[in-house]
Amino acid sequence: MEISRKYTESELVQLLQQRNQPVFSYLYDNYSGALLSIILNIVKDETLANDVLQEVFVKIWKQINSYDPTRGRLFTWMLNIARNASIDTVRSKSYQQSQQNMSLSDDTQVTAGGVEMNTDQIGLRKIVHQLREEYRILIDLSYFQGFTQEEIAKMLEIPLGTVKTRLRTALIQLRSIIKP
C-alpha cells in the first residue's frame, strides 16, 4: 500500500498537537493498517485487535503533546504505543481467562501462549518468520510478548550471555531483511 504524502512529518505533528481532527483522520487512514498488523501479531484475536486499535488511536490523540520528535519518528512512537497496549491486553486477567475457557471448549491450535490465530504471515511477524528458529523465538518472547532477557534466560534455561548474543544477531538479521 502506497501512502499518499500530503503532509511532512513535522507538519503532521504540529497540526495534531493543535487538535486538528481532519489531520487526525488522515493519520488514521494512513497508519491504522500498519498498527493493526502489529497488534494482530501480539493479540491474535481479530475482534480484540480492533478494540486495541481503537484504544491506541485514542491514546495517540490524548498523548500527542508528549511526543518528542528528537527521540524518534512519529511512526516509531505510535508503533511503541500499539505494542505496549497489545502486550498489556494479552497480560490482562480477562484475556487470560477467556483464553483458558476457549482452550477447554475448542479444539483449536494450542501453543504455549494459548489459543492463537495464525498471524505469522502478517506485518513484522512475517519478517521475523524468515529468521532461524532459535532467533525467531527470542524475538517472539522479547518483542511480541515483552519478556526481559533475564526472564527469557530462565524460561529457556540458557545463559543470559547467550540470550544477549542471539538476540543481537537476530536484530541485525532483521534489519538486513527489512532494509529496502
Of 51, 18, 6, 39, which is closest to residue 117 (Cα–Cα)?
A: 39
Distance CA 27, CA 12 (A): 8
Distance, in Å, from the CA atom of 167 to the CA atom of 139, rounded to the nearest integer, reads 7
DSSP lists the bridge partners of residue 115 as 110
Nearer to other proteins, 15 or 31 (CB): 31
DSSP conformation letters of 101-143: HHHHH----EETTEE----TTSHHHHHHTTS-HHHHHHHIIII
91 lies in the site for other proteins, by CB under 8 A: no
Name the residue nearer to other proteins (CB basis): 79 or 115.
Answer: 79
Residue of 12, 23, 48, 79 interacting with other proteins (CB under 8 A): 79
Least distance (Å) between residue 8 CB and other proteins: 14
Residue of 7, 67, 84, 136 that binds other proteins (CB under 8 A): 84
Binding of residue 152 to other proteins (CB under 8 A):
no
Report the distance separating Cα 83 and Cα 125, nearest Å. 13
Q: Is 89 in the site for other proteins (CB under 8 A)?
A: no
Residues that bind other proteins (CB under 8 A): 1, 3, 19, 21, 24-25, 28-34, 36-38, 40, 46-47, 50, 53-54, 57-58, 61-62, 71-73, 75-76, 79-80, 83-84, 122-124, 126-127, 142-143, 167-172, 174-175, 178-180
